[in-house]
Amino acid sequence: MEKVLITPKSFHNYKEIVYPLMAERGYEIVENRFGRTMTEQEIIELASEGVVGIIIGVDPLPAAVLERCKDVRAISKYGMGLDNIDLEKAKELGIEVRNAAGTNHISVAEHAIGLLFALARHIPQNVTAVRQGGWERVLGVELTSKIIGVVGGGQIGREVALRAKGLRMQVAMYDPYMHDESFLETNGIRRLHDLDTLLEQSDIVSLHLPYTQETKHLINSQTLGKMKRSALIINTSRGELVDEEALYDALAGGVIAGAAQDVFSMEPPEAGHKLLGLEQFLLTSHTGAFTKEAVERMATISTYNLLNMLEEHSKGAARC
């Protein structure tokens, strides 16, 4: 019997909905039993033979792993970002890859706005202080009329922009690959044609773009130096977009006022990482897409994507 490997830890919460779909097509399901992100070797051990499809979370699928998974014909991403998959090697091996588009953009956008409020009003620090018996107040800032610079005009960036408009913020967007002028005009969003201008003008910078060699350390000592001293950064995309050493120096030195991330370059970060010791830095555990609604959508769409890819491959093979 052909097998399907499922790596995302939260996928089993909806197995009553999606497992029967795979069983009906005759596939045996191999689950992630580790309770964490799988290693390359663990994936190889489970998928080196007989596994024809993988539903992948953030687990690594570099070229060396794909080459060892000799029967895999399709990879379905449980989410949007594909940077953990070597797409060139997959193409070379004839493995089709699809993401679960349109499933988690609302949840991630809402989380980004939540992080923004947490930074602007020092909510986590205030809650902790009260629990410890304190009653001191920390001066926050209003978001109304502030300029939020959204970097990346994809689904998540657009949802963040719309929510910011609802908060009566001024919204600017930078994305050289976005060509939907009607969205910008309809919603009163200002397009900026270079990143430096956005960084210089924005009170808040929110990152919503994939991790590539082009975007690696997009936020670094040079770009941080262009921002207002009162500026805040929100990153719910990928940890590698931010040079964490430079971010620490900027926060500790007062170059910017605060930063909140749902992602980190190494997840989880090493114990005692110096950024975690700064009150003006907030980190959540890559939980932006982890809502009941988004998880259910991702499980369903990623399953249908995988089944459709495998069916198309079978039909193509039959024609040959």
- Tens-digit pLDDT profile for residues 62-73: 999 999 999 999
Whether 97 and 12 map to the same domain: the answer is: yes
57 and 198 in a common domain: no
d(CA 232, CA 164): 14
Question: Residue 139 is part of a domain; what is its CATH number?
Answer: 3.40.50.720
Question: Residues 6 or more apart from 317 whose CB is under 8 A from it?
Answer: none
Does residue 297 share a domain with residue 270?
Answer: no
Catalytic residue among 111, 158, 286, 297: 286
Active site residue 238: yes
pLDDT (mean) for 316-320: 58
Both structure tokens of 4: 């399907």
Give yes or no: residues 193 and 242 share one domain: yes
- pLDDT at 27 > cutoff 60: yes
Please tell me the distance from the alpha carbon of residue 305 to that of residue 313, in angstroms, as a whole number: 12
159 in the same domain as 279: yes
0.85 exceeded by pTM: yes
At residue 107's C-alpha, the angle toward residues 304 and 278, to 5°, is 130
What pLDDT, on the 0 to 100 scale, is given for residue 319?
A: 52
Shared domain check, 7 and 64: yes
Same domain assignment for residues 192 and 111:
yes
Active site residue 286: yes
Domain identity same for 86 and 29 = yes
Q: Same domain for 150 and 220?
A: yes
- H or E element that contains 52: strand 51-56
Number of domains in the chain: 2
Residue 243 has pLDDT above 50, yes or no: yes
State the pLDDT at residue 290: 92
| % of the chain surpassing 90 pLDDT | 92
Average pLDDT over residues 120-146: 97
Catalytic residue among 267, 279, 311, 312: 267
- Look at residue 202 and tell me whether its pLDDT is greater than 70: yes
Q: How confident is the model at residue 315 (pLDDT cuts 50, 70, 90)?
A: confident
pLDDT bucket at 317, cuts 50 / 70 / 90: low
When pLDDT is cut at 50, 70 and 90, the band that residue 318 belongs to is low
Catalytic residue among 238, 240, 244, 297: 238
* pLDDT tens readout for residues 90-123: 999 999 999 999 999 999 999 999 999 999 999 9
If you average pLDDT over residues 184-204, what whole number do you get?
97
Looking at the fold, whether 276 and 310 belong to one and the same domain comes out as no
| pLDDT score, position 12 | 85
Q: What is the edge-to-edge ordering of all strands in the sheet holding 232-235?
A: 190-191, 170-174, 147-151, 204-207, 232-235, 258-261, 281-283
Say yes or no: 91 and 161 in one domain. Answer: no
* Catalytic residue check, 267: yes
Eight-class DSSP state of 49: S
303 is in which domain, residue-wise? 3-103+292-319
